[in-house]
Amino acid sequence: MKIGNVKIEGKYVLAPIADITDVAYRVLCRRYGASLVFSEMVSINALIRNNKATLKLTKIAEEERPVAIQLFGTKLEYFAKAVKLLDSDIIDLNLGCPATNILKQGAGGALLIRPGKIKEIIETLVKNTDKPVTVKMRSGMKKVNAVEIARIAEEAGASAITLHPRLVVQGYSGKADWSLIKEVKENVSIPVIGNGDVVDRASAEKMLKETKCDLVMIGRAAIGDPSIFSRLVNEKEKPSYEENIKLLFDYYELAKQYRVYNFDAFKRRAMDFTKSYPNSTRTRLKMAKLGTIEQIKEILV
């Protein structure tokens, strides 16, 4: 299938996850079968000011393509400038972030109560780039208006829609209402990506069957488990502790290679990669007190 002019091979994509999906993590997920990968959300305000930390978020590796950079903000003139600074294959607009600091800016999920503004932002992005523009949205702020927003996005020129069918005010509580993904799919002609509560091959296939969505986006289930994408396609066992620790240090090498390595961030990844294994609580408590990569290697390897 295609999103705009970008060919997507396969069905499973990596979600944009703050503090997780840097270039190194995205490359690792692509190597293990992710069909498309999304960056952490990027502030247009910081991007047009050439903020160093923000520019790191937009770093792209050739081997991870196709890749989408996700933007958030509200100012049309900033979107127009920011989109011209990106070298991604796809530009994604955040219409779902439930974080309080983002909502206070009127960005992310807060935009769902301003359909006119959403239309203007998408039109601005489409006008200022030749790359496909997509949106990632929730089902509404406090009440459901997913179909209305999806139709507006398509009319404004969006090439695909990702729906996480929870309200913004829900955060991650409750259950994702997959019937809304099906409803959106029936009301637009562009590709629809389903997201929410997919944790394994069975739930991924169930979402595809029940909603008829074109692609499935994996978010929280991919944290500390980049090889999940290979298990979605092939019937493989979850990696052993030793195998997952090897993946952690593959991430470390990639982070150094692409110059995004940061010890504190790596320690958080180490916590993620060890979380679901025996004695992980004890291991993670030990790691919390460590201050060097050598010390972490010593207790993990």
Q: Which residues are catalytic?
A: 97
Number of residues assigned to the chain: 301
Kindly state the tokens that stand for 193: 């990506």
∠ CA 131-133-137, nearest 5°, is: 160
Residues 6+ apart with CB under 8 A from 291: 263
Q: How far is 159 from 129, CA to CA, in rounded Å? A: 13
Smallest Cα–Cα separation from 71: which of 49, 119, 38? 38
Q: Give CA separation, 117 vs 102, 121, 152, in Å.
A: 16, 6, 10
Q: How far is 241 from 239, CA to CA, in rounded Å? A: 7
| Chain centroid, CA 247 distance in Å | 20
- Which residues are 193's β-sheet partners? 162, 215
Smallest Cα–Cα separation from 165: which of 190, 186, 194, 200? 194
- Which residues are 72's β-sheet partners? 43
CB 194 within 8 A of CB 207: yes
